[in-house]
Amino acid sequence: MPAPLPGRSASAHEPPGAERSSNRRTDIQGLRAIAVLVVVAFHAGLPVPGGFVGVDVFFVISGFVITGMLHREWVATGTIRFREFYLRRFKRLTPALALMVVVVLLISALALSPLGTQQVAAKTAAGTMLLVANFVIARNTGGYFDAAADTNPLLNTWSLSVEEQFYLVFPAVVALGWLLARRARVLRAAPAVIIGVIAVASFALAVLVASGRTSLSPSWMFGFYSPFTRAWEFAVGALLAIALAKARVLSQRVALLLGLAGLALVAASLWLITGTTPFPGPWTLLPVAGSLLLLAAGTQAANPVSRLLSTRPMIKVGDWSYSIYLWHWPLIVFAALAWPGSSAALLIAAAVSFAPALISYRWVEQPIRALRALSWRRLALVIVATLAPPLALSAALYTTAQHGFWIPSIQQYQAATTPLHAGLLSGCDTRVAQLHRAPGECTWNAELPGAPVYLIGDSNSDHFHEGVQAAAAALDRPLIANTTNACPYADVYLGNLRGTTQFDEGCRAYVADTTTYLTSSPRGLVVIANSDSYWKQDDLSVGLTPDDQTKDRQAKLADYEVGLTKSVRALEAAGQQVLLVQTTPKWTGEVVWNPLECSTITLANGSCNVTMTTAQAASQQGAARAVVDRVAASTGATVIDTWPALCPDGTCTTQEGTLVRYRDQAHISVPQSLQLEPLFSEAFARVQQR
């Protein structure tokens, strides 16, 4: 006997909680409940490191449900009514989304920072309403697991845009397949073939990107948020819907086995997948395959797994899942900003988010979904009334934030923290070593006659650029600056956090090529500065060879000492003088500060400034500072220490008078860098006299 057509659920407009009919799949609502609850648990800081895969479960469900719905319409009418389809999607998703965005933007005006997070939220809000939030987030917030993501209250909208992009394209794709199949018997498999090709191509792209063996441009189009590396998840759900439309009902035993296997795969993905897993990629098969098995098992309603998913509490949470997904993340972000470091605050915020979610569901989602057919004029009015408020608010917030709300104290902070340092601004803070650049590129004061100054290292070297450049110019010396991000200049192998290779090959190439360049370049002064975060970062390995990497802090420091000593001696053997710069005090240890967490209110009333003693800073950074001192002593290199300038009288400050010292937790501002010119000038003169 043919199986009932798959995929109809409450989201396809049946009354929530209705009894199961031939087309009613209450187990799908239960699967939605699992998906949203694991996402909320992950965001609330509970021990489910792979909870973000709940989004992948949603993607598979969407492909399955939408294809089933379109298939029923095609069989019944011989066509797909695109206007009605998109109107249903609009009523289902957009009004509730617009309400959440408006509320978030209003709160953001006070709770977020005009130093950047308000602007990002405003851009994301506009992108959300225009169905491109995933691309906006990729370009402005960065990776899903990057620190900046924790301050974007609309980060969760990336998946909604991916889903809406699927809705825009997919109906035409399946309609084309069914049209071809109707015109010729030989093309009966056209729908499955077309969708299958999309699935294979998308999965292959995801695997290629996850492997790290490709550098597609622009990078924000092909990463975590990309519809191109996610399309296969929708496509396999669609293929299952097509297959089940022609299949026979499973036996209860087979359905039970499929259901248990599906639950096991989804559960395994919650702990086997983490934020360091290359994703999407091969590991994404775990939640995707688990979702497919659970959907297939649900064709036999009597099996215990599907009955469990169809219990009333699971159905209710599934009905609310869209609203819960909308509201939980913004409240968690605002709670984390209000009570930094409080895990309890995140859990409470996640629980509290159910209140606005249920309000939105009851008084926005349901009434609007129940609207009868509208005339074109009334429909246009509804669309404008829905989209205009969030778009207008996003423009207003962005404009006011960009101007610092016209408050002098905020504008002062913006003037100090917004400008990029010269190396990064000019494209000279990348993994491209000077060896591979054109002569004269990344050179400042090129016309000056003195011996060159070379500035190398990571971003903690680039943030000294302005002071070093001014000091070099004062001594009639040109500056060649070639730094790179997240890569210390030392003869060591740095682990790869993405796990695609055993070590960071780009970093290793930068160090090796920079050494080759410097040992064959005119003699001068090499200024080396590195962050000390690598040796404290517990999930990052370091080794003297690719095979002896360790995550032990003391062992990493020992390797750093050996590697830095080797690099310095190689430079000195080539006739270069070396100046080692101690890293600046960081606001990531005992005393935490981040200007992006300074709200409009704290910036306006001057309470964004933070202080700590040098003893507190040394408790976190003293071991790495000692390594630099020992390397200098053993090689004869000169050391320069910025701590006395940044921490007068033993007290470090983020701001002194009108001078904002730091642009973020780990990097000084451009104005502060310029203030260090006398310190570097004195050090350069001291090295010359040796």
3-state secondary structure 300-343: CCCCHHHHHHCCHHHHHHHHHHHHHHHHHHHHHHHHHHHCCCCH
Superfamily of domain 417-585+621-643+671-688: SGNH hydrolase (3.40.50.1110)
CA angle 152, 589, 585 (to 5 degrees): 100
SS3 content of the chain, % helix, strand, coil (to 5): 60, 5, 30
pLDDT of residue 501: 65
Write out pLDDT tens, residues 157-177: 999 999 999 999 999 999 999
Contacts of 401 (CB under 8 A, 6+ apart): 114, 118, 119, 122
Q: Tell whether the model's pLDDT for residue 214 goes beyond 90.
A: no
pLDDT of residue 11: 41
Q: Are 491 and 566 in contact (CB under 8 A)?
A: yes
Q: Are 468 and 453 in contact (CB under 8 A)?
A: yes
User: Domain coordinates of the chain in residue numbers?
Assistant: 10-402, 417-585+621-643+671-688
Give the integer Cα–Cα distance in Å for 386 and 381: 8
The structure tokens listed for 466 are 């302005």
pLDDT class of 500 with cuts at 50, 70, 90: low
What is the separation of C-alpha 295 from the centre of its chain, rounded to a whole number of angstroms?
Answer: 30
Predicted TM-score (pTM) of the model is 0.88
Mean pLDDT of 524-534: 97
pLDDT of residue 689: 72
Rg (CA), the chain: 29
Give the integer Cα–Cα distance in Å for 687 and 690: 5
Q: Tell whether the model's pLDDT for residue 521 goes beyond 90.
A: yes
pLDDT of residue 248: 75
Adjacent-strand bridge partners of 526: 454, 578
Residue 143 is given by DSSP the state -
Mean pLDDT of 194-203: 97
Adjacent-strand bridge partners of 656: 659
Contacts of 235 (CB under 8 A, 6+ apart): 63, 195, 196, 198, 199, 202
Query: What amino acid occupies position 159?
Result: S
Contacts of 462 (CB under 8 A, 6+ apart): 421, 422, 423, 424, 429, 455, 481, 483
Mean pLDDT of 578-602: 94
Give the integer Cα–Cα distance in Å for 614 and 648: 9
pLDDT of residue 22: 46
pLDDT of residue 14: 36
**Which residue in this structure is represented by tokens 């087309």?**
23
Min mean pLDDT across 372-376, 608-612, 670-674 is at 372-376
| % pLDDT > 70, the chain | 95
Write out pLDDT tens, residues 381-418: 989 999 999 999 999 999 999 999 999 999 999 999 99
Q: Kindly provide the b/e burial profile for residues 519-535, where b requires at least 16 CB atoms within 10 angstroms of the residue's own CB.
A: eebeebbbbbbbbbbbb
